[in-house]
Amino acid sequence: MALQGSLSELSLPDVIQLVTVSGKTGAFHLKRGDEEGRIFLKEGQITDAGVGNLRGEHAVYEMAIWSEGEFVFTPGETSDEVSVHRSNANLMMEAARRLDEWRVLSRRIPSLELIPFFQPREGRDQVTLSPQEWILVTNIDGERSIEEIANLLRWAAFDVSKLLFGMITSGLVGLREPGPSEKDSPGSQLHASPSAVTLLGLAEKIRSVALDVVGPAGEKTIEKQYAGARTLIERGEGLSALRDMVQQNSKAILLLKGADVAAMFDEQVRPLLGGV
């Protein structure tokens, strides 16, 4: 007989612990709204998992923070794939830690359907962000929900929320409820252009990467391209100005430092442009 129940009554780590102790082989089928995931166990040990674009340990962690939904354990169902290599004990310790952290995050991010947007800022204070945060801000356009951004980046919603939490706390980003039309067609705004604030921040980051790669010999060229890109972005040129800046920087680095260094620059800036 299949084991089944509600995640609102029993968390996933607790459910898996029950099956682990009994040494069962089978698969958990989990469903939360339109999301569906599976976790496979062999003799009580998790061997494979998947939900949305996530696979392996990250899929387990993502489903472990679900506070609602249903689960069904089907004995005997197996997977030929092995995407999980950590022990159940280590997995569940990390899952429990993330669940505790999610409870803190949810105080400011109560729903993944909320839409992040940039808060108005007085003046032009410099914002220092990590590479992951820069990738995230390129996908904040005031239209995509947190869940849509996570799906687009193929990141766990937990990881996106954790980055957003800091931005929200610092006042850089706010959250709003989706309008009726956005709820009806969640993918309709996926191709909206990033704001000028986002593009200017990206231009500054690309400039920094280029200067680190090319060194003092190309500083004047890089600064010239950066100034030109800023002017064009402020005039409303948008993405074309940013992409042209990258192209011109790449050409300058190729001439000054050679193909290998130019390829290094391209590799470093590609993730920054991945979502725009």
pLDDT single digits (tens) 131-140: 888 889 888 8
Task: For residue range 183-200, list pLDDT tens digits in order.
Answer: 544 444 444 456 677 777
Whether residue 130 contacts residue 264, with contact meaning beta carbons closer than 8 Å, is answered with no
Whether residue 232 contacts residue 241, with contact meaning beta carbons closer than 8 Å, is answered with yes
Whether residue 222 contacts residue 205, with contact meaning beta carbons closer than 8 Å, is answered with no
* pLDDT for position 252: 87
Task: For residue range 11-42, list pLDDT tens digits in order.
Answer: 888 888 888 888 889 999 999 988 899 999 99
Name which of 200, 190, 205, 206 is nearest 140 in CA terms.
190
Q: Which residues pair with 46 in a beta bridge?
A: 41
CATH of region 115-184, choose from 3.90.70, 1.10.10, 1.25.40, 2.30.30: 1.10.10
DSSP E strands: which ranges in 23-139?
26-32, 35-42, 45-51, 54-55, 70-75, 115-118
* pLDDT for position 171: 82
Q: Which of 35-49, 130-144, 197-211, 215-229 has the highest mean pLDDT?
A: 35-49
Whether residue 271 contacts residue 240, with contact meaning beta carbons closer than 8 Å, is answered with no
CATH 1.10.10 intervals, the chain: 115-184
Q: Confidence band (pLDDT; 50, 70, 90) for 170? A: confident
